């Protein structure tokens, strides 16, 4: 049996890495894909390991492994050098079974092959087949979106919460923004559970929170760069305090699903529409104060979207999102 090795940070896993791994699989019977991860790096090693595991779950020849190392012991450098390669090779000899061939897209592959006493094969060193680097992706993931593996994309999705009191246009704006940015919008789930706000119970609020979080977790994998979500767990918490003077406690997985990168707060200066399910206008306005206080209690910043014209509100929301996702000049 011929055993190969691909060593990398995979920070993040992209199509260049996948091309290298697929090339290696044509040359060997078993392939160890080793994620080298330092605790000082911006993307956790466990996440990178899971990306590999998910991407190659149907190929038993691929053996993902995670190596978490101390930078005081092993150098963390992207530069190929004989000295660094020798240190790594000596370390890996103690951690891995015998390697027959190492595959790489950089010069260190030849050095590692020599010190591991195995063959080395270099693939697409000038990056002509897949012209991208992990550094480029980390600096501006949206510009290199098509180079990301499917498993990685949810990590870089930016989640936008459309937030506000009743009758502020959240439902419509969420879908308009999703359509405009060619992605997915998650509706609020209250109407799936209750017919009118006044009929709500504390148990209903927990069901709403669970259903909403499940929807976010389900749909994020199919989103295109952005995911727009109508309301969040802070909204549901606010309802609990406003209606029942009671704190809503939810499991950690619901809290995790409700981590957002941008909040668009829709003000109550738009025309009030009573659709038969909502609080009256006076109560709606009081609820708005409760919603705002909930964000402030959690230190959450937001962009305030105001105006009585619905189209103008949409344009302001689009502008806020574009400003948020604009790459930072390097």
Distance CA 224, CA 171 (A): 19
Domains and CATH numbers, the chain: 3-143 (3.40.50.620), 157-325 (3.40.50.300)
* Residue 10, CB-side half-sphere exposure with 13 Å CA sphere: 33
307 and 270 Cβ atoms separated by less than 8 Å: yes
Would you state the pLDDT for residue 111?
Answer: 94
DSSP-derived secondary structure for 43-109: S-HHHHHHHHHHHTTT-TTEEEEEEEE-TTTS---SS--HHHHHHHHHHHHHHS---SEEEESSTHH
Question: Tens place of pLDDT for every residue, the chain, 330 residues?
Answer: 999 999 999 999 999 999 999 999 999 999 999 999 998 999 999 999 999 999 999 999 999 999 999 988 888 876 778 989 999 999 999 999 999 999 999 889 999 999 999 999 999 888 888 999 999 999 999 999 999 999 999 999 999 999 999 889 999 999 999 999 999 999 999 878 887 777 889 999 999 999 999 999 999 999 999 999 999 999 999 999 999 999 999 999 999 999 999 999 999 998 777 765 567 778 888 889 999 999 999 999 999 999 999 999 999 999 999 999 987 544
Query: 217: closest CA among 188, 186, 241, 248?
Result: 186
Read off the pTM. Answer: 0.90
């Amino acid at each position: 049996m011929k055993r190969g090795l691909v060593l990398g940070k995979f920070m993040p896993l992209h199509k260049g890495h996948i091309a290298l791994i697929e090339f290696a699989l044509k040359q060997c019977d078993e392939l160890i894909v080793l994620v080298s991860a330092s605790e000082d790096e911006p993307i956790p090693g466990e996440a990178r390991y899971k990306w590999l595991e998910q991407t190659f779950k149907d190929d038993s020849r691929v053996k993902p492994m995670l190596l978490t190392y101390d930078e005081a012991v092993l150098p963390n450098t992207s530069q190929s050098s004989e000295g660094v390669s020798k240190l790594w090779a000596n370390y890996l000899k103690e951690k891995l079974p015998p390697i027959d061939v190492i595959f790489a897209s950089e010069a260190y592959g030849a050095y590692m092959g020599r010190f591991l006493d195995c063959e080395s094969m270099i693939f697409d060193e000038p990056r002509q087949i897949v012209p991208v680097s992990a550094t480029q992706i980390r600096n501006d993931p949206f510009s290199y979106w098509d180079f990301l593996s499917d498993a990685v994309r949810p990590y870089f999705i930016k989640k936008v919460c459309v937030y506000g009191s009743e009758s502020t246009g959240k439902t419509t704006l969420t879908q308009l923004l999703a359509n405009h940015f060619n992605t997915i919008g998650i509706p609020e789930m209250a109407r799936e559970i209750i017919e009118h706000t006044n009929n709500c119970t504390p148990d209903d609020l927990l069901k709403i929170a669970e259903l909403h979080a499940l929807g976010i977790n389900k749909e994020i994998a199919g989103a295109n760069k952005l995911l727009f979500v109508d309301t969040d767990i802070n909204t549901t918490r606010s309802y609990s305090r406003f209606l029942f003077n009671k704190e809503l406690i939810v499991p950690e997985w619901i809290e995790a699903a409700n981590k957002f990168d941008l909040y668009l707060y829709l003000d109550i200066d738009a025309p009030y529409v009573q659709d038969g399910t909502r609080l009256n206008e006076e109560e709606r306005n009081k609820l708005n104060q409760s919603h705002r206080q909930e964000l402030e209690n959690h230190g959450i910043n937001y962009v305030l979207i105001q105006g009585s014209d619905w189209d103008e509100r949409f344009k302001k929301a689009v502008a806020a999102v574009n400003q948020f996702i604009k790459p930072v000049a390097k």
